[in-house]
Chains A and B, each alone.
Chain A
Amino acid sequence: MNERQDAVEVVGLRKVFERRARRGLLRRAPNGAKTLIAVDGIDFRVKRGEIFGLLGPNGAGKTTTIKMLCTLLSPTSGTARVAGHDVVREAAKVRSSLGTVLTGERSVYWKLTGRENLRYYAALYRIPRRKARERIAELLERLELAGRADELVEKYSSGMKQRLALARALLPSPPILLLDEPTVGLDPQAARNLRQTIFDLQAEGKTVLLTTHYMAEADDLCDRIAIIDQGKVIALDSPAALKEGLGAKEGVRLEIQGEPNGLGDALRAVASVESVAVRPSANGVGTCELQVITSSSRRSIGPIIESVRAAGHEVVHFQVVQPTLEDVFISLTGKSLRD
């Protein structure tokens, strides 16, 4: 990778899956082929030393994109280059330039100790034995695994397994890291520690491309974000610029009692309301949350509350908030990231 080159360049990348339905053991059902466009001609570039996020809901195409970049999946069309190498024609060079952590905790051997796992993967990356020993000790220390390095991985917590997977990815000191949903399944403290590690890696000059569906994480971590939905990049900029893109718009959070049947449409009819997303509240008491993007909360609060009451609902909680990345997503797609 030369000085001026982007770490990752993706041009018109597309992945289409064809799934054939079967009737019986061997026969294919007539007209049974279903086409799923997982990634639909996306373009983006990740600059060297940048933390770049792919933000989108589950099934948006983030993991498919990561899998194409790390050569586990071949693109249907388009091109992708990692550290200047084409992911199809120079797959081995791409794999040498990358450290990848895919989502899930089963990317290491549970019947080996943490140290044995790293020793094994170091050999796969052809790191000389003495250097590997030093590197493993350094990574175990850095990722706070040194104290339990000689215990079987099956005894590790989820956070420890995730840190070990990161240590595995860091073994060859790759210039570029791909992290697929790195904090999924971690407790808040473990997630915070992992985010700090990602910042530290950036400070060392590494490029990080990560996927997440946590807006706060993307906002906190990423220099730039590509918001991806239904396989398409629908916005790409820094978190601040994306939020500024909403202009004077504001977010209104409403929590109501009961099911919001038809309320979304009623709110969309309010003059200053631009988009509405509805989702069940996470508090487990049968309430629903409505996220409303409005050009003026001052002018729309009255009509919003009137509409809610007219629909027979009681407002449990009401809050005007500064736009978040989720509001950006709602404004672009009309739905919540968690839909």
Chain B
Amino acid sequence: MIGTLLAIARKDLIMFFRYPINAVFRIVEPIMWLTPAFFLGRGFSVDGTATGFAAYTGTGDFFSFILLGSLLGAYISAVFWGIGYSLKMEMDSGVLESNWMTPVPRLAFLVGRTLTSLVVTTLNCTGVLLASWLLFGFSAGGPVGKAMLITLPMLAGLYGFGFAFAGLVLLMRDANTLVDVSSFLVGELSGRGFPVTVLPRALMVISLVLPTTYGFDAVRALLLGTKPLLPLGVAAVVLVGFMVAMLVLGGMAFSAIERVCRARGTLGMH
């Protein structure tokens, strides 16, 4: 199975670099997005500290807060785009059926298609961290290993979410809008670009229901010393529960929708 997943990723990487300008731009563009945030934060800071922001989060380091949010948000997008959009691309280019006629389980295709997204995102993130260190003086002084560990169940849970989402793409035969809207909403409501405690009560309820919120929050608490919403141990339990539930439910939802599409005969349609 590992060999199959790697073959899917290898194929995607080859095709990714067949469009070299796009490939270079994809790796460089997040640095461009972050630069305005840095200067905006500076504009609101007094003596290098955003004091109002510090009252909400426990840190005055506005830029590092945004930077970590962006990096984690990039992984959310990678899973959403890797699963939903790539499925739609295969439907459009007519290769979905030739792939699905092989004995490989269909969920394996979905996982395989995210690997290249994750590799590209990791390249992005590495570049962004390096640029942020060189240009904006970013440094994280917490337990990096622990922070990475806590993101794993969050990422795995997102895969489960992505499976259900892929089912929706299969059913609706639309990806761009679905991926754009859901990836944006999940990212923003999880606190990618701001502390969720600033949200109005109705929106904050939604944020607090999203397990990804606790993932973002825990990583920032570990690396930047922000005030966490939940004790870190509890956040970890929430994220592991999210992972198990979403992997099971997402897998079941995808299989059910795929059965419906097979009955309707819409698998190869776009």
Contacts and interface: CB of A to CB of B under 8 A. Distances in A.
B97 A126 contact: no
A73 B98 contact: no
A310 B184 CA distance: 74
B17 to A, nearest CB: 10
Contacts of B95: 106-109
Interface size range on B against A: 20 to 34
Contact of A74 (B11, B14, B15, B262): B262
18 contacts: A15-B265, A72-B97, A72-B262, A73-B265, A74-B262, A95-B102, A100-B101, A106-B94, A107-B97, A109-B95, A110-B93, A112-B14, A119-B7, A120-B11, A123-B6, A123-B7, A125-B102, A126-B103
A67 B15 contact: no
Interface of A: 15, 17-18, 64, 67, 70-74, 76, 92, 95-96, 98, 100, 102, 104, 106-112, 116, 119-121, 123-126, 152, 165, 168
A72 to B, nearest CB: 6
Contacts of B7: 119-120, 123-124
B92 to A, nearest CB: 9
Interface string B79-100: 0000000000000011101111
A86 to B, nearest CB: 15
Given A67-B265, A120-B7, A109 B103 contact: no
Interface string B249-263: 000000000010011
B102 A73 contact: no
Given A72-B100, A108-B98, A125-B102, 15 more contacts: A17-B264, A64-B265, A71-B262, A72-B267, A72-B268, A95-B102, A106-B95, A111-B15, A112-B15, A120-B7, A124-B99, A124-B104, A125-B103, A126-B4, A165-B98
B36 interface: no
Contact of B103 (A17, A64, A73, A92): A92
Given A17-B264, A72-B262, A111-B18, A95 B11 contact: no
B233 interface: no
Contacts, number: 81
B93 A106 contact: yes
Contact of A95 (B8, B93, B103): B103
Nearest to B15: A111
Contacts of A111: 15, 18
Would you call the interface of chain B mostly helix, strand, loop, or mixed?
helix
B20 interface: no
A152 B264 CA distance: 34
A123 to B, nearest CB: 3
A15 B259 CA distance: 15
Contacts of A108: 95, 98
Contacts of A70: 101
B3 interface: yes
A307 B39 CA distance: 91
B93 to A, nearest CB: 6
B25 to A, nearest CB: 18
Most buried by A among B3, B4, B6, B262: B262
Interface string B115-157: 0000000000000000000000000000000000000000000
A76 B267 CA distance: 16
Contacts of A125: 102-103
Nearest to A94: B103
Nearest to A18: B264
A124 B97 CA distance: 13
B3 A95 contact: no
Contacts of A106: 93-95
Contacts of A96: 103
A123 B93 contact: no
Interface in B170-187: none
Contacts of A76: 263
Contacts of B100: 72
Contacts of B101: 70-72, 95, 98, 100
A104 B11 contact: no
A165 B265 CA distance: 22
B183 to A, nearest CB: 24
Most A CB atoms within 10 A — which of B3, B6, B93, B102?
B102
Nearest to B262: A74
